[in-house]
């Protein structure tokens, strides 16, 4: 009997519906090759949900996500809803969803596709061997602490507890143990009390539970420099919510395009939320030129981490690599090629079709 999985799709705003559509079709093409069955349902989130219901995360959407095997998200937000004076914002839906599902660890792999080295602003010799994973704490810290705004004073509060730090570091350390055995913890312990708690907790936990994993501590300001000067030195990086937000976007640029990078948000169970790290890109929405590869690669992470379908995950990743090898590029990657390689620029749907054309050859 085929393994059946219920997947909630949250297309969201901007280019979200376009890239999620191509990913759904890709999963449907993959299913018979690996004896899988996918049950897809669509729900609103973000700006379109505000327009429909007044809420960025309607109750029906949250209830469906709580029952799903996994959730695939496109993007939220855009200039239509960007008035900071309004109390309801599209991004609140995503923050609330992560919190409600207990998704405290955001995994963002950064692997350099050799075919796209020329797209990076860094020199090729600096990029050689870059294969890192950033694990960002997702439901605590500055974004969720007590705050005040209005009048002559405003503040946000950065709070972490030992259990919050321990659980995300365990995720990062387990990942490091399965990779190259090195964990870098990023903080601001020379200034912030919360970071001193973070560093103390990380040091104790690693010594007790992961003595086989090499640990180093790096201050966040130094880390922003190291990621540009020597990114290949890092294996797994773990950090708090705000620092992790900044570091992951910086690390994304190593690959040359945010349209290539997937992410996973995980908690204690198998259920996870998977999304490309790019935004809603409203300036190109509806034009059929968005890069769907980050979302398709997010689906590969979904297959691996939530569904336990490793062979199917690798098939998607290999099909994407083969499409790039063959010289196919979306407009964000136009002009990126190895010497003597011919590049063909294609749109969103065409890139999805090209990836799917390589899937059968990856099914063994």
| Catalytic residue, candidates 245, 328, 332, 358 | 245
E strands within the chain?
A: 3-12, 36-42, 70-75, 105-111, 131-137, 147-148, 155-156, 182-187, 214-219, 236-239, 262-266, 272-276, 328-329, 344-345
Of residues 5, 160, 187, 188, which has the active-site annotation?
Answer: 188
Distance in angstroms (rounded) separating the CA atoms of residues 203 and 200: 5
Q: Which of 5, 104, 143, 328 is catalytic?
A: 143
Determine which one of 60, 221, 268, 311 is catalytic. 221
Whether 69 is catalytic is no
Say which of 131, 233, 249, 325 is annotated catalytic.
249
- Three-class DSSP category at 238: strand
Judged by DSSP in three states, 321 sits in helix
Would you call 233 a catalytic residue per the annotation?
no
For residue 49, the surrounding DSSP H or E stretch is: helix 47-53
Residue pair 180/233 in contact (Cβ under 8 Å)? The answer is: no
User: Positive or negative CA dihedral for 44, 50, 53, 55?
Assistant: positive
249 catalytic residue (yes or no): yes
* CB distance 315 to 362 below 8 Å: yes
Q: CA 300, 302, 303, 306: dihedral to nearest 10 degrees?
A: 160
For 352, which DSSP code?
Answer: H
Residue found by looking up tokens 């590869």 in the block = 293
Q: Could you list the active site residues? A: 143, 188, 221, 245, 249
């Amino acid at each position: 009997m085929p393994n059946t999985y219920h997947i909630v799709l949250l297309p969201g705003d901007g280019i979200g519906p376009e890239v999620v559509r191509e990913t759904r079709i890709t999963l449907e093409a993959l299913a018979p090759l690996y004896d899988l069955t996918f049950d897809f349902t669509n729900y609103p989130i973000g700006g379109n949900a505000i327009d429909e219901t007044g809420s960025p995360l309607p109750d029906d959407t949250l209830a469906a996500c709580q029952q799903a095997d996994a959730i695939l998200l496109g993007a939220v937000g855009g200039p239509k809803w960007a008035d900071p004076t309004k109390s309801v914002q599209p991004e609140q839906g995503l923050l609330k969803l992560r919190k409600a599902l207990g998704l405290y660890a955001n995994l963002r792999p950064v692997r350099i596709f050799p075919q796209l080295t020329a797209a990076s602003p860094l020199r090729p010799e600096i990029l050689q061997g870059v294969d890192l994973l950033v694990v960002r704490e997702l439901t605590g810290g500055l974004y969720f602490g007590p705050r005040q705004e209005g009048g002559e004073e405003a503040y946000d509060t950065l709070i972490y507890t030992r259990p919050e730090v321990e659980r995300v570091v365990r995720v990062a350390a387990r990942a490091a143990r399965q990779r190259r055995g090195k964990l870098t913890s990023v903080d601001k312990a020379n200034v912030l009390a919360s970071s001193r708690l973070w560093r103390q907790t990380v040091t104790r936990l690693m010594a007790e539970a992961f003595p086989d994993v090499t640990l180093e501590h790096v201050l966040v300001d130094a880390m922003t420099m190291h990621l540009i000067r020597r990114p290949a030195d890092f294996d797994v990086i773990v950090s708090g919510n705000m620092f992790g937000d900044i570091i992951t976007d910086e690390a994304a640029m190593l690959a040359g395009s945010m349209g290539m990078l997937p992410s996973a948000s995980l908690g204690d169970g198998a259920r996870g939320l998977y999304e490309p790290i790019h935004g809603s890109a409203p300036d190109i929405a509806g034009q059929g030129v968005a890069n769907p590869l980050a979302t398709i690669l997010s689906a590969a992470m979904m297959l691996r981490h939530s569904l336990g379908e490793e062979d199917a995950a690798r098939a998607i990743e290999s099909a994407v690599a083969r499409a790039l090898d063959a010289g196919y590029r979306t407009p964000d990657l136009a002009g990126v090629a190895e010497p003597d390689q011919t590049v063909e620029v294609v749109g969103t749907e065409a890139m999805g079709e090209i990836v799917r054309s390589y899937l059968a050859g990856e099914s063994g």
